[in-house]
Amino acid sequence: MPNVLILGGRAPVALDHARRFQRQGWKVHVADSIPCRLTGWSRSVAATLSLASPRYAPMAFVQGIGAAIQTHAIDLVVPTCEEVFYLSRYRNLLPTGVRVLAGDFDTLRTLHSKWQFIEAAQGCGATVPESRRVVSLAEARAWAGVDPIVLKPEYSRFGVHVRIHPEGLPMRGKELDVAGSWVAQRYHAGTELCSYGLADKGRLLAHAVYRPTYRIQRSSSYYFEPHACEMIRTFVSLFVRKMDFTGQISFDWIQGEDGGVTVIECNPRATSGLHLFADEDALPAALMGTADHCVEPSHTQPAMIAALMLSAGLYQAAAGSALSRWRHDYRRARDVIARPQDRSPLAGGLLDLGSYARLALAQGCNLREAATRDIEWDGECLRPI
């Protein structure tokens, strides 16, 4: 029986990976640097391991993974969150006989930068928004004039700090309050889409596209509606070939009324498109690089995080007089957290939220920051170890 180590067990995508690997004959181990009962309490998981923070203690983080590889005879290491940057940077310290699903560090750095990605995305078959690197609101205004504009930090995640101005920048806007460079982009109107892909040495081995139908403001989605788009698939295939990319890779898109697509940014890690795949779909083989074709979801049922759909989604629907649509959408989707024979992850996830709340109080930050700051990477120099 092969052994897999899934990192970032705090994330629903890690739970998704764990169930699929276990269903297809793997022994599953999960690891994280903060509580990850969401995944660890699943019946599909054989062991949960504790790691040091990759951001604050990278040497201990890598040593912990190395020890897990040796102790549990790991065949494959799968990151899910931003620990992938640290894993890639210090891959040389891990045993050579194990497959570590992390691409070249310089490539990951290019894709994580919302500025450098724009240049890399040229010539792959999708519209790329006109963009400019800026350090102040005045510089952004001088570039954009009165045109519609989007502002975002060069390194950010989950749509945090993004400012969207479809009517152009206001005369008195709040100064850019996150240190470092920002990216100003021409605003493109249309339908927001997201894609998840998996590549090995430039070959696209898995792909899915979804519409983030319900979201927490403009941040993370919790309802994932499958959406077929051949243009997006073609772009992703050409892009991973151009970059000779290995690993999980995700993109945000805008589809205009004419059907054309604009690629907005890249996240070189797992995202929620993963939830669209069935347990029987051959993602484990794709992650190992042994799939002989590009795996796509075998069904078209939407997926959701039901707890959020029943709370934030219901509130938003009631406020927007859209209860009938909400009820229809809720009934036709499947929950990605609790399943009939595996309900403990729901309780584990709620306990994790309590742990994050305590961290937030201790660290003087919000809940989202407490849940991610120990793995984040914002382009800082990662020195050799």
How would DSSP label each residue in 255-295? Answer: E-TTS-EEEEEEESS--GGGGGS-TTSSHHHHHHT--SS-B
Number of domains in the chain: 3
Whether 239 and 110 map to the same domain: the answer is yes
pLDDT at 50: 97
Give the contacts of 376 (CB within 8 A, at least 6 positions apart): 55, 82, 157
- Other CB atoms within 10 A of residue 55 CB: 21
Evaluate whether 304 touches 334 at the Cβ level (below 8 Å): yes
Whether 221 and 324 map to the same domain: the answer is yes
- Is pLDDT of 159 > 80? no
Q: Which of 166, 186, 206 is the last residue of a domain?
A: 186
**Average pLDDT value over all residues in the chain:** 94
Whether 310 and 323 map to the same domain: the answer is yes
pLDDT confidence bin for 115, thresholds 50/70/90: very high
**pTM score, whole prediction:** 0.95
pLDDT confidence bin for 367, thresholds 50/70/90: confident
Whether 203 and 252 map to the same domain: the answer is yes
Tell whether the torsion through CA atoms of 74, 77, 81 and 84 is positive or negative: positive
Tell whether the torsion through CA atoms of 52, 57, 60 and 64 is positive or negative: positive
pLDDT at 364: 87
Whether 219 and 300 map to the same domain: the answer is yes
Whether 117 and 28 map to the same domain: the answer is no
Return the CATH number at 304.
3.30.470.20
Query: Could you tell me how far CA 109 lies from the centroid of its own chain?
Result: 15
Write out the H or E segment, with its range, that includes residue 215.
strand 203-215
Whether 36 and 143 map to the same domain: the answer is no
pLDDT confidence bin for 23, thresholds 50/70/90: very high
Whether 279 and 325 map to the same domain: the answer is yes
pLDDT at 46: 98
pLDDT at 162: 86
Distance, in Å, from the CA atom of 266 to the CA atom of 145, rounded to the nearest integer, reads: 26
Write out the H or E segment, with its range, that includes residue 205.
strand 203-215
pLDDT confidence bin for 157, thresholds 50/70/90: confident
Instruction: Give the structural domain span for 349.
Output: 1-102+343-385
Per-residue pLDDT tens over the stretch 308-327: 999 999 999 999 889 999 99
Whether 98 and 108 map to the same domain: the answer is no
Whether 258 and 369 map to the same domain: the answer is no
Whether 146 and 278 map to the same domain: the answer is no
pLDDT at 196: 98
Reading the block at residue 289, the tokens are 């690089």
Bridging pattern class, strands 99-100 and 76-78: parallel
Residue closest to 345 by CA, chosen among 11, 6, 77, 3: 11
Per-residue pLDDT tens over the stretch 173-225: 778 877 789 999 999 999 999 999 999 999 999 999 999 999 887 778 999 99
- Is pLDDT of 172 > 80? no
Distance, in Å, from the CA atom of 6 to the CA atom of 287, rounded to the nearest integer, reads: 12
Whether 247 and 375 map to the same domain: the answer is no
Return the CATH number at 8.
3.40.50.20
